[in-house]
Each structure stands twice: as C-alpha cells, then as structure tokens.
Amino acid sequence: MMRYANRFNHLLAALVASLFLLAACAAPATPTATPSAEALPSQTAAPSDTATPLPSATATVGALRDVTLPVRFAVFGDYGLAGPEEAAVAEMVLAWEPDFIATTGDNNYPDGAADTIDENIGQYYHSYIGNYQGTYGEGSEENRFFPSLGNHDWGTPSLEPYLDYFSLPGNERYYEVNWGPVQIFIIDSDPREPDGVGVSRDQAAWLQSALAASEAEWNVVIMHHPAYSSSRHGSTTSFRWPYAEWGADIVLAGHDHVYERLEVDGFPYITTGLGGYPTRYEFVVPIQYSLVRYRDNFGALFVTADESSINFQFITIDGEIVDDFTLTTED
C-alpha cells in the first residue's frame, strides 16, 4: 500500500521540482573547470549542498512503448575487466536474451580509459550497444545497454571515453529509459558529478521531477554507490534520498562486490556488484536493514516485470538462485 500512499505526494512534488529546474536553467551559466583527480573528494563524500552547480540537459520522459510482456532485463555491476569472470557472467546474461541490460557502474577498469573500454565492455555486450563503433562485431539497431557511472569510470575525469563510446539519453550521466511497465532512472552517484549528489542539488531535483512524471507501473532507480551496505565500502549516506516519497519502487546499486538485499522502512534496496571483477568482498558487521547477503560466486540480477508484479532473482554463473524477491501492485 505504501506505493499508492505516496502517489499523491510525489505528483504534487512534480510541480515544485519542475519550477526548481526552470529557475536553475534560467540562471546565467558560469564556466567551471573539471577538478583534477588529486583534488577530488573521497568516494563517499558529498559536495557541499550550498554550491550552485551548472544546469545540464536532462532526459525527457519517453512515451510508454509497446512491448511483449513480461519485460525481462539484467542488472549487474563492478564487471568491466576483461577476463574469465566477466566472460562467464556475460555468457549467462546473453543466454537469458533480456530485452535490455542495465549496470550499477564500474564498467571500465581500472580508470575508464579509451584504450580499455571496448575490450572491457564491447567484447562481451556489443550486441546490446546502440551506435556501436568497436571492433567485436555488430551492435544493436536500438540501444539496449544502459550503464551507470562508477568511480572507476570517473578515473578519466573528463569522462570523454565513456561519453564517446555510448549513445545515451539526456546528459548521458543521469537519465531515464522507459520499457513498457518499467521506467529505469540511472543516477550518477560519484561525488565528481557536476550537478551534485546531495538531496538539494540539481540531479536530485531532476529525479524527483522525473519520478513524479513517470506513467510506468515500476520505477527502478539504479546507481553505483549503495545508500546502505554491510560490505567493505559501507553505506553512502549522501544518497539516502526519499525515493519512496518521490515515487520509486526500488533502488539498485553496486560498488561493494557482493550481493545484498536490504529493506528500510518497507522500501527495498539491492546491491549487485558481482558482475565479473575478480576480487569479491567480505561482509563486515551486517547492518540492521540487511535481509540477504551473498559473496561466494559471480552473478547478475534477472528481472521480469508486467503490469501487476516485478520479480528480482539473483542468479550465479553456476545457475544457483540465491535470492528471489517480488513486488506486486498489492504491496
């Protein structure tokens, strides 16, 4: 019932958020330099919410497309290092023949460079990448690969290799995509994001407005840094935004190389960071919200959705279903 109890609130918030964005776009732009890597804050540090970021282009809400139900898609993260581990996850994911693929970041280890991006991504997933210009085969007529930025992708501060390689909506750092009953909202959770990672910054205002305008049954927010985590990096508190109040149904993240499902005040969070980077992390002390924890093998989320339910299965490369979780319109 929580989803419907929040519908009125987030629809009302749409007008406020839209006015915020209009005001930001009306302000005169002031060129700013990209900070050097040495001057960047730590991964979990948030820039000051008092700063005034430059407004940037944002994705437009797409019309609900006609699709065959159920919609099927894969989500994984922390995968982008060519080798047997990534190859095994890719083989499994491609065998599912999902409608599209989304990632929770760290697509191109170690530092997001142009000379590794095709080997780390296109080698395995070129058939899902629209406007593919790499060397591993044919791309997709329509882009069906939707990555989120991780801290390793930001290793090249200009993001030029990433932005050149992909053809993504909006400003390409954060954007939304509709696929029938599912709307995904890709967020840039790295503190180097020009539009900020604080709840009072432009990126958050965009998300609030976009969620309020969504006509999809299921609104899925995807980013790299988990708001809640029991593993090595821990929780990124700067991303504890009021997702449920704004109209989201679930938040997916990566960064910690584990699988974890948590629930905070009835709202679900999943960390899926076992996409193929060879080093898997240990869990530290489980936080109070943690329900399911796994780190023994590599794998990905397999998601199926229709107009009445959305199901999340974490499946390992050996075919083990570690977690099976469903949201319904009656919840």
Angle in degrees, CA 187, 76, 223, rounded to 5: 15
pLDDT of residue 64: 65
Q: Rounded to whole angstroms, how far apart are CA atoms 146 and 176?
A: 9
Task: Report pLDDT digits (tens) over 173-224.
Answer: 999 999 999 999 999 999 999 999 999 999 999 999 999 999 999 999 999 9
pLDDT of residue 50: 34
- What the block records as the tokens of 185 is 């909202």
Q: Residue 130 carries which DSSP code?
A: B
Residue 232, judged by CB atoms within 10 A of its CB (0-12, 13-18, 19+), counts as middle
DSSP string, 243-310: HHHHT-SEEEE-SSSSEEEEEETTEEEEEE--SS-SPPPPB-SPPTTEEEEE-SS-EEEEEEE-SSEE
**pLDDT of residue 45 exceeding 90:** no
Q: Rounded to whole angstroms, how far apart are CA atoms 221 and 186?
A: 6
**pLDDT of residue 46 exceeding 50:** no
CA nearest neighbour of 201 among 187, 183, 213 = 187
pLDDT of residue 186: 98
- Coil vs helix vs strand at 5: helix
**pLDDT of residue 257 exceeding 90:** yes
Q: Rounded to whole angstroms, how far apart are CA atoms 163 and 188?
A: 13
CA nearest neighbour of 189 among 200, 179, 203, 177 = 203
pLDDT of residue 37: 32
Strands 218-222 and 250-253, bridge-based pairing: parallel
